[in-house]
Amino acid sequence: MSYDFTIIVPVYNEEDNLIRVEQALLDYTKIATRKTKILFVNDGSKDTSQDLIESICNRQTDFNYICFKENRGLSAAIKAGFDYVDTPLVGYIDSDLQTAPEDFNLLLEHIDTYDLVTGVRANRKDSFVKNMSSTIANGIRRAFTHDGMDDTGCPLKVIKTDYAKRIPMFKGLHRFLPAMILLQEGKIIQVPVQHFPRIAGTAKFGLWNRLLGPLMDCFAYLWMKKKYINYTVAKKG
């Protein structure tokens, strides 16, 4: 079966959410504007997530998975997804379902014109501390990258796969995906999407991950920008 779009679903200790994730993504595949399949990336979960993932993939033909030997972090899970994807388009969504799979269709409307389309969470349903720390972190990152994006932490994105595979990932770089597409001279746009409160499981990021960590990552990005190799082949034979 030929697919056009792969949705990566990073998973780390999300046993309480995975049945909901299965149903939400199954419903989305029925209304998706591109032929879609799902790739779970189990980031070394220590609960029953892997057993649930295997059960889901056994009963759903459009679902597949890879499982890490140990926990390596969100950026590593996304990078592994990019490595394994074989469709022209790739996206990802968090397994907490604070964003809605059906909003992928809003992003896909723009992917023929742009190389990355990212959601921006409208009316965020998070705590004051989480919202404020994210707002500050986004402002700092935007000052470093000049990517013009208001919410790079939004876990709903669509990218042309050839661009995604060229991103030299490092830990924390999932917040810099739009900037990394700009380094490839690609085009990016942000689109408002829905946001919902987490109703099961626990958040994997605290104040350090959202604020101080990303500040340090900005300096890593600046180093990478200075050293980044980009070229265009004029002829070959």
* Amino acid identity at 173: L
> In the structure encoding, which two tokens stand for residue 225, read together?
């920008």
Max Cα separation, the chain? 58
Q: Residue written as tokens 């013009």? A: 148
DSSP 160-191: EHHHHHT----TTGGGGHHHHHHHTT--EEEE
Residue 129 has pLDDT above 60, yes or no: no
Alpha carbon dihedral 10, 107, 113, 161, in 10-degree steps, equals 20
Q: How confident is the model at residue 205 (pLDDT cuts 50, 70, 90)?
A: low
61-86: pLDDT as tens digits: 999 999 999 999 999 999 999 999 99
CATH 3.20.20.70 fits 5-227, yes or no: no
User: What mean pLDDT is predicted for residues 119-136?
Assistant: 67
> In the structure encoding, which two tokens stand for residue 82, read together?
């990019």
Per domain, the residue ranges of the chain are: 5-227
